[in-house]
A and B are shown apart, each in its own frame.
Chain A
Amino acid sequence: MNLLRAKINEVSRSLLPVMALVLLLAFTLVKPDADMIFRFLLGAALLLVGLAIFLLGVDLGMNPIGDHMAREVATSKTGFKVALLSFLLGFLVTVAEPDLLILGNQVEAASGGSISAMTMVYLVSAGVGVLIMLGTFRLLRGRSYPLFMGLAYLGIFVLSLFVSEEFLAISFDSSGATTGALTTPFILALSAGLSRIKGGKTSEEDTFGMVGVMSAGPMYALMLMSIITGQKSIQGEAAAFMPQQGILQPVLAFLPKEFFGSLLALLPLSALFFLLNAFRFKAPWRELRRIIKGLVYTLIGLAVFLTGVYAGFLDMGQVIGRVLARDHSWLLPVVGFLIGMIVVLVEPAVIVLGQQIEDTTGGRIPGKIIKVTLSVGVALAVMGSMVRIMVPEVKLWYFLLPGFLVAVLLSFRADPVFVGIAYDAGGVASGPMTATFVLAFAQGAADVVPTANVLVDGFGVIAMVAMAPVLSLMIVGAVFRRKEQALTRKEEKRVKEPVTLPAGAIQFYDCLVAIVSRGLAERAVEVARGAGAGGATILHGRGGSGHDIKLFNMEIQKEKEIIFWLVDTRVSEAVAGSLYRELDLGGGGSGAVFMMPSGAMGLDAPVAIGSREETPQEMADPAHEPSTAEDLLPPGAEAETPLPAEEPVEPD
């Protein structure tokens, strides 16, 4: 139960403030009818359960699928296959997104049928496919991410000069629609998989950023469409506000609809996975069963979650927006700020991103810091949108242009991990909660304010929510980088002392452990190999040494890599010595190397002094096949040394 309970805990921590705020507003200022309050409570309960199950499903199903897919892409032998597969993944994961179809229908109606809904859906999906493809090449080739995104946004800026403000807003909305509850976790898992496989120094920062890349796709697709077809304006009316009736009916009406929508959205990707599994992955049954369970959880969880959101939150948002705009319009920015601040934390993708950040950085960057920054960003975005609704002179691009400009410029000076996270955050924050509750709130307000345009101002909210967290996280990333550099300079000042090695040989296996700063593991493995150690296993952790960076009163610890070797005890001193010297593991908090006694099975062969030129095969020794199981345990068995006596030091 623990895992599910952990998810429920996590979700309820973010949901409770939302409920508190909404209920407070409902009882003091807004006073909706009782049905609506009950519907809201029911919706919140569904949201809680649905989201928890969904998150579980992402862990069990989506992440492994993303991992397998990433492996398949990265281990391609031709560039064509990389291109095809990554394009296909981007296309398939987007094409079935229900929100996108809804948007397509709106555009079709507004354009008088000259652009069909399906054309738009295919165009946007192709846009996502192309960008995922480019992003994959960028990642695997190791090109600069800030530069890539800078160019992508430069292109968007140039195109935006040729389209109307309505279309600009719709483009941002479509990008919000494609980075939905389902696509975002999958793309996160995919890029995490790719970067893990690619490995190396940049593997951590490469984990993030693909969602940001992806969200540029729909914008390109739609703006190009607008320019080519000459479709400039969208006149449609936002659907008239029709409050739902009853308490249970809306739930019962939404559930089957959301279920089929979610099923449809999951199908293409699952089909591709099972197809590839049959021919390529051939995952063991145990794992496959797990993935299937995960997919079922994802489906059920998503359907229940969306039902809760639509049945309970949509109306409530509308009514709060309307009543506040009518009676207390000066409160709109304040309430907008609060709503933005807490609602974003219930976005499924935000929770998934938070987890991924903790996993990838070994817990170094607490998910909390990201969430706080994200909250503040979205809060300011919603507040800005309210101001824009109230004051028609304030245009959307007053916010978007400087916001993105500063973000892009900062991205070259910010901590690389934060850069990826920041660009991702834009897509991540504009998920289903924003698209329903926050959007409904804004549209409700815009409906009442006479000078506001429901369509433009409503869509503008999503554009703002997509921009603000990018900026806020970029700022934090830049601050973090500065602090980090200051700390490094301080550490470099410490005097390095020369080291002499003691001689000594013990007849044992040693479990040699080195703890080094993140990124140095590769070097350490090399050094150790040069000194006679064999294969290594690398763990990813974080360390505290009293020199931690503080940010908002939260600690950011240093990231560490822990490397394990099993080394013949006669070499371990030499290996440890090389590591100590080459990687400077003696000083302050920078690292350590130590040994623990052990016995081992399943090793190719122990590596002996002076034999580093020999391959493990040459050194394979029957004495170390399973029969030596006894010398593993108990540790007191050191009398029969694990080393064959006839393995001499043989210089050639």
Chain B
Amino acid sequence: MTSGSCVFAIVDRGKANDLLHRAQQIGARRGTIFLGEGTMSSRWADWLGISQTQKEVLLIALPDDAVEGLYAMMREEFQLHKRYKGIAFSVPYRAFDPKHPTGPLDFGRMKEAPHVCLMAVLKRGLGEECMAHAKAAGARGGTILHAHGAGVPQDFYFPLVIEPQKDIVLIVAPRETAPRIRDTVYTRMRLERKGSGILFALPVVRTLGLYEQRQGERADK
């Protein structure tokens, strides 16, 4: 299990455990869960300050042949293809395992990646502003994770190592709209200034439950 897909599933708080258990039954060795916050679009919920939704992000790395089963499971048992049930996407990855060295990633596959996962690492508190800009540029939604940077010793009364608090914004967008979102976020969040944050992208080879997908399905019917 050195090369395969790293599947991100973003579901409502409390569901990630069940999902992980099922995933382990069908071949995933382990997964990691962290807490995040989703956003929803509703003007008056926004005005009231309650537009946030509590999410969990589950990260499972598994070989490519098991991916199919995982997606089928998420679709059938967790209904991720439906509205408000969550989303899932996978990014190709390569585990570092000296016992089974592998060659470089299959970049050919990445070129065709239909979606892109943009990740912005920003100062704590700026996540929502970033989301607002991303939405203006066409993003349908996103998830904010709370993280912190590595410590830097400071000159305070206490010998503290301040860990700068960060927000990570995670947005999955189709390849066509992603550049616009990326540029908007980059310029509006003034990321050219040193230390204001970084922005990077991961290729997404497979998705489930995205807004665009649902639109497509609706059209099919």
Q: Which residues of B contact A543 (CB under 8 A)?
A: 30-33
Q: For residue B185, which residue of chain A has the nearest CB?
A: A601
**How many angstroms between the C-alpha atoms of A525 and B163 in the bound complex?**
12
Q: Which residues of A contact B148 (CB under 8 A)?
A: 196, 199, 537-538
Determine how close the nearest CB of chain A comes to the CB of B2; give it in whole angstroms: 9
Are A6 and B182 neighbours in the complex by a CB distance under 8 Å?
no
Could you tell me the dominant secondary structure of chain B's interface residues? mixed
Number of interface residues of B (CB under 8 A): 87
**How many angstroms between the C-alpha atoms of A60 and B97 in the bound complex?**
44
Q: Does B150 sit within 8 A of A, measured CB to CB? A: yes
Q: For residue A64, which residue of chain B has the nearest CB?
A: B125
State whether A566 and B200 are in contact (beta carbons under 8 Å apart), knowing that A539-B145, A577-B96 are contacts in the complex: yes
**How many angstroms between the C-alpha atoms of A565 and B24 in the bound complex?**
27
State whether A4 and B50 are in contact (beta carbons under 8 Å apart), knowing that A74-B156, A359-B35, A604-B194 are contacts in the complex: yes
Determine how close the nearest CB of chain A comes to the CB of B43; give it in whole angstroms: 12
Are A636 and B61 neighbours in the complex by a CB distance under 8 Å?
no
Q: Which residues of A contact B158 (CB under 8 A)?
A: 74, 82, 140-141, 198
Q: For residue B173, which residue of chain A has the nearest CB?
A: A633
Determine how close the nearest CB of chain B comes to the CB of A7; give it in whole angstroms: 9
**How many angstroms between the C-alpha atoms of A515 and B61 in the bound complex?**
11
Which residues 525-570 of A have a CB within 8 angstroms of B? 525, 529, 535-546, 555, 557, 560, 562, 564, 566
The interface-forming segment of B63-71, B75-83, B100-108, B211-219 is B100-108
Q: Which residues of A contact B137 (CB under 8 A)?
A: none
Q: Does B191 sit within 8 A of A, measured CB to CB? A: yes
Are A501 and B98 neighbours in the complex by a CB distance under 8 Å?
yes
How many Cβ-Cβ contacts under 8 Å join chain A to chain B? Answer: 265
Which residues 1-33 of B have a CB within 8 angstroms of A? 6, 13, 16-17, 20-21, 24, 29-33
Q: For residue B125, which residue of chain A has the nearest CB?
A: A287
Which residues 106-149 of B have a CB within 8 angstroms of A? 107, 110-113, 116, 121, 125, 128-129, 145-149
State whether A536 and B149 are in contact (beta carbons under 8 Å apart), knowing that A3-B53, A589-B30 are contacts in the complex: yes
Are B150 and A290 neighbours in the complex by a CB distance under 8 Å?
no
Number of interface residues of A (CB under 8 A): 97
Are B163 and A544 neighbours in the complex by a CB distance under 8 Å?
no
Are A635 and B116 neighbours in the complex by a CB distance under 8 Å?
yes
Q: Which residues of A contact B32 (CB under 8 A)?
A: 515, 541-543, 560, 562
Are B147 and A286 neighbours in the complex by a CB distance under 8 Å?
no
Q: Which residues of A contact B17 (CB under 8 A)?
A: 544, 555, 557
Are B155 and A77 neighbours in the complex by a CB distance under 8 Å?
yes
Contact of A595 among B20, B54, B94, B165 (CB under 8 A): B94
Determine how close the nearest CB of chain B comes to the CB of A359; give it in whole angstroms: 6
Are B50 and A2 neighbours in the complex by a CB distance under 8 Å?
yes
Q: Which residues of B contact A560 (CB under 8 A)?
A: 32
State whether A502 and B147 are in contact (beta carbons under 8 Å apart), knowing that A75-B156, A140-B158, A293-B49 are contacts in the complex: no
Q: Does A594 sit within 8 A of B, measured CB to CB? A: yes
Pick from B16, B24, B57, B97 the residue with the most CB of A within 10 Å: B97
**How many angstroms between the C-alpha atoms of A358 and B155 in the bound complex?**
32
Q: Which residues of B contact A166 (CB under 8 A)?
A: none
Contact of B151 among A359, A522, A636 (CB under 8 A): A522
Q: Does B199 sit within 8 A of A, measured CB to CB? A: yes
Q: Which residues of A contact B116 (CB under 8 A)?
A: 633-635
Q: Which residues of B contact A506 (CB under 8 A)?
A: 104-105
Given contacts A199-B163, A540-B35, A595-B93, 9 further A-B contacts (CB under 8 A): A3-B53, A60-B49, A363-B16, A497-B99, A522-B151, A538-B149, A539-B168, A594-B96, A601-B198
Closest 7 CB pairs of A and B: A541-B34, A636-B111, A600-B200, A576-B96, A199-B163, A602-B198, A502-B101
A-B contact pairs, 17 of them (CB 8 A): A6-B13, A6-B54, A56-B50, A74-B160, A363-B56, A536-B150, A544-B30, A562-B32, A566-B198, A577-B96, A580-B98, A595-B94, A599-B201, A629-B186, A633-B179, A636-B110, A638-B107
